[in-house]
Amino acid sequence: MSETGLPPYLLGLRDGPEAVLASGSGAFVDAAPPDPPAGTLREIEHRFSDELLDAYAVKVIRRLEEGGHSAYLVGGSVRDLLFGLRPKDFDIVTSALPNEIRRLFRNCRIIGRRFRLAHVYFRDKVLEVATFRAPMPASENGDGELLIRDDNVFGTREQDVMRRDITINALLYDVSRGVILDYVGGVADAEAHVLRMIGDPDIRMQEDPIRMLRVLRLAARLTCRIDRPTWEAVVRHRALILDAAKPRILEDLMRMFLGGAAGPAFDLMLESGVLEVVLPELHAHLVARLAAGDTEELESLRAVLRAADRARQQGREFTSAQRLSLLLAPLLLAPDGDGAKTAPAEQATERMKPIAARLAISRRDGERVRQIILSLPKLLGTGAPRKSRRRGGGGALVRRSYFREALEVFGLYVAATGDGHAEFERWAHRLAEIPAEEQAPPAPARSSRRRRSRRPRRFAGA
């Protein structure tokens, strides 16, 4: 709580991230510098149980070592194991060049232009294998531009670690010896629950602005405090996030839901001013409600995101459209402030256009978001047209392809606010009464891993 008596997320929304910094009450901490200094190797015995490791990843590492190369688990898998979490992906880093990796594995494909790496394919998964990389020479980054556009300079093990972003993401695990290789104090930071950038945070954020979203997402997911210089760099350079590729911004925004920490991440976006950059329309709407003395809408949104987190932690999967709907419902359902009687569907479409353009939301997802959000008042019983009520009590709505997704989103609102229990049960009963062959199949939840595909069609008008 700040000196003003406001929680940091509310202070950030009202007065901006600089006020949060001045209050000293935000998610940042004055952490001690790493000891020993970054660049000094520490080998820490820490054997992880074989049950926690991916058998295919271990197999790939063994074959690389037999081929005369060094190879390690790296990044998120080592980080998650240290935090007592079960990793979803096991990425590998090696001294082998991409073509050498391909010669060792028939089930291998080299991908990427900016960042060439190998994908090793197994029946039910794909493992990423990257070659050690060196920092980009300043002369190759353009005339004073820090944004990295090409990243295929191969290097040593230490160089690869030092070019990574966050200390807890830069740990190597030697499977054969059961040892963590730590050049940056990442193990100590994990133990202290501190999130810290490697090197100068100002430079690192400008090199890849997506790092700002990643910092907030990981801090929320791992319940870490953020090192003050890192936090200050996020606040200072947050406008640069829009310089990153649009699909990458959307991907990292959606990944906040996958870790079951969308609620805390949303608070950090408010505290840091990042929400105003990524979703300025939603930010402006919440600021206007706050100026009018209304915090109920903001608190309802925070409660819904936390309800989604609880569901995700219990194994629930959400589609991209559902995740976007949870964030955007307050904005798309808000009445026009000037008293104009714009049809809700038209209003939602117009408000969705700039968001879809900024984040490269596909036409399919944009339309599904609009359908889900416009269904919410009908499910609650405040927006269903009289004619549909006379014709069978919403039977047509239940058969819509988006109904199941909309009902799940509505269920999260019910769980968060305590309102609409009877309506939710009634709609769920109606869905259950429909023969399975007549129900629209559930939409698949998409993987967090990006896939090479045709460019998606954009939301109408975007």
User: What is the set of active-site residues?
Assistant: 89, 91, 165
In 3D space, the residue among 245, 275, 260, 297 whose CA is nearest the CA of residue 80 turns out to be 260
Amino acid at 346: E
Q: CA–CA separation, 10 vs 189, rounded Å?
A: 28
Q: CA–CA separation, 160 vs 153, rounded Å?
A: 10
Q: CA–CA separation, 156 vs 93, rounded Å?
A: 11
In 3D space, the residue among 237, 183, 184 whose CA is nearest the CA of residue 211 turns out to be 237
Distances (CA, A) of 101 to 124, 279, 403: 20, 41, 46
Q: CA–CA separation, 387 vs 371, rounded Å?
A: 19
Provide the 3-class DSSP secondary structure of residue 421. helix
B/e letters for 143-160, b = 16+ CB within 10 Å, e = fewer, are: eeebebeebeeebebeeb
Which residues have a Cβ under 8 Å from the Cβ of 83 and sit 6 or more positions away?
A: 190, 222
**Using alpha carbons only, what angle is made at residue 304 by residues 6 and 398, rounded to the nearest 5 degrees?**
155
Provide the 3-class DSSP secondary structure of residue 94. strand
Are the C-beta atoms of 204 and 197 separated by less than 8 Å?
Answer: yes
